[in-house]
A and B are shown apart, each in its own frame.
Chain A
Amino acid sequence: MTVVLDVNWAVKWLTLCAQAMAEHRVELIELDRAIGDSDHGENMDRGFQAVLAKLGEATPETPGAALKMTAMTLMSKVGGAAGPLYGTAFLRAATALGDAGEIDPGAWAGALAAARDGIVARGKAEPGDKTMVDAWTPAVDAARAAADGDGADVLSVLVAAAEAAEAGAVATDPLIARKGRASYLGERSAGHRDPGAVSSALILRAAVGAAA
């Protein structure tokens, strides 16, 4: 069975994102309670439920159009800092994909890089600051390496990105936060996983689920 990353995949991906945020809502709230203001789970769940509602109103024509709609919705509905950060990520990915009807391995790696660059531009965080950038940067690198390999297929690129993001999220545990609300805690932020890195990994894992 050949995996095709078309608009149907994109819609399924966003639907699975909404499911994942609903399922992990309490977990994200608990993570954010430890080092933030405990609204991340609530905000992400609300944001992606709004994305689901939008998908119910109209079916986008391309993956890029689906991601652009998602960007707009997240920025309007999430409320906290995650709104403009994820919104910018989806918007930049949408721009990178353009009007293409299907996404090939190189295009997916490029879209992830554009998304990460958008998050960095908006939030000014660097790798090691204990933010979602610590999930995205290894994901971008892994996707690029997988896409550049011989006979790369889209599924292996999706999987590489998701696994790297999950490892990156786990690797935020010992870090001391230097950006965002958690940075107010200084050294006390160590020993907790960054909620933004966790939600980022959930999003990239959902991209695999949609292709399976």
Chain B
Amino acid sequence: MTVSIVVVSHSEKIADGAVELATQMAPDVMILAAGGTDDGRIGTSLEKVLAALERAGGESGGEQAGAEQAAAQPSGTVVLTDLGSAVMTAESALEFLANPAGVLLADAPLVEGLVAAAVAAQGGADVQAVREAAEAAAGPPRQPEPARTEATDAGPVSSASPDCTGDFELVNQAGMHARPAARVAGGLASLDAEVTINGVDGASMTGLMTLGAGKGTVLHVEAWGADAERAVEYVGGLVEAGFGEP
């Protein structure tokens, strides 16, 4: 079961809309909205947040949430919030939880962070990694290079060369927008490979989106690791099919 996500917003519509958007990119992830007050006003409600956290934690054990499943360790939940008091309400909810260990608050922009977190969860990332994905959405794109130079320090340049590479031209009208970026990042996250696309981390949806790659742009894919070839093929397949878009 993937990590679940709870969205806390002052507005019911914002929470529902953000969930709708993220669900489109991560259909297998449980993403729950806790927006507005109990009586539909602008504000946040502890009861709504607790109910969402309960569902997120309880149902991640299986379809038949019984007493046995409740004892099973759920995969964890990441909470995204909008403004000030939503953060306070989410923090308060953690204080009420019997076992808050698997619940992490992400300090991230709501929409960008949620989409990045949802894609990471869809790719099978653990609860820490899902939070990191959300929080990275606020900063500059992540560059996976440092780890690589460390592994090859003082070695010949050739040893740093990728195990597999490929060049693919974007053929769909909209290029590398949110949905394609989610599919690329989500798929790569589940492979045993480090992948860069035009220099950014291929498993980072926000990184891919910052490329601003439109139709006609050639994506240079470099991959390292056991699944390097599969990773390049995966990206190539999606790009050449135009992500199933016109």
Contact = CB atoms under 8 A, between A and B. Distances in A.
Interface in A57-95: 72, 75-81, 83-85, 87-88, 91
Interface in B79-114: 84-85, 88-89, 91-92, 95-96
B45 interface: yes
Nearest to B47: A76
B91 A84 contact: yes
A177 to B, nearest CB: 14
A174 to B, nearest CB: 25
Contacts of A43: 43
Contacts of A85: 88
Interface stretch (B25-33, B34-42, B145-153, B181-189): B34-42
Contacts of A76: 38, 45-48
A199 to B, nearest CB: 15
A80 B85 CA distance: 7
B41 A122 contact: no
Contact of B85 (A72, A77, A81, A91): A81
A127 interface: no
B67 to A, nearest CB: 25
B88 A123 contact: yes
A85 B41 CA distance: 19
Contact of A83 (B46, B91, B95): B46
B84 to A, nearest CB: 6
Given A79-B37, A80-B85, A84-B88, A72 B43 contact: no
A48 B45 CA distance: 15
Where chain B touches its partner, the secondary structure class is helix
B4 interface: no
Q: Contact size class for A? A: 10 to 19
A174 B91 CA distance: 32
B96 A83 contact: no
Contacts of A88: 88, 92, 95
Nearest to B95: A91
Contacts of B47: 72, 76
A87 B89 CA distance: 9
B44 interface: yes
A78 to B, nearest CB: 8
Contacts of A84: 44, 46, 85, 88-89, 91-92
Contacts of B88: 81, 83-85, 88, 122-123
A140 B38 CA distance: 33
A156 B85 CA distance: 35
Interface in B31-69: 37-38, 41-48
A94 to B, nearest CB: 11
B46 A75 contact: yes
A43 B44 CA distance: 12
A91 B45 CA distance: 16
A115 to B, nearest CB: 13
B92 A79 contact: no
Given A84-B46, A91-B95, 17 more contacts: A76-B48, A77-B37, A78-B43, A79-B44, A79-B45, A81-B85, A81-B88, A83-B88, A84-B85, A84-B89, A84-B92, A85-B88, A88-B88, A91-B96, A122-B91, A122-B92, A123-B88
21 contacts: A75-B46, A75-B89, A76-B45, A76-B47, A76-B48, A77-B45, A79-B43, A81-B84, A81-B85, A83-B43, A83-B88, A83-B89, A84-B91, A84-B92, A85-B88, A87-B92, A88-B88, A88-B92, A88-B95, A91-B96, A123-B88
Query: Which 7 residue pairs of A and B lie closest in terms of their CB atoms, listed nearest first?
Result: A79-B43, A75-B46, A84-B88, A81-B85, A76-B47, A84-B92, A76-B46
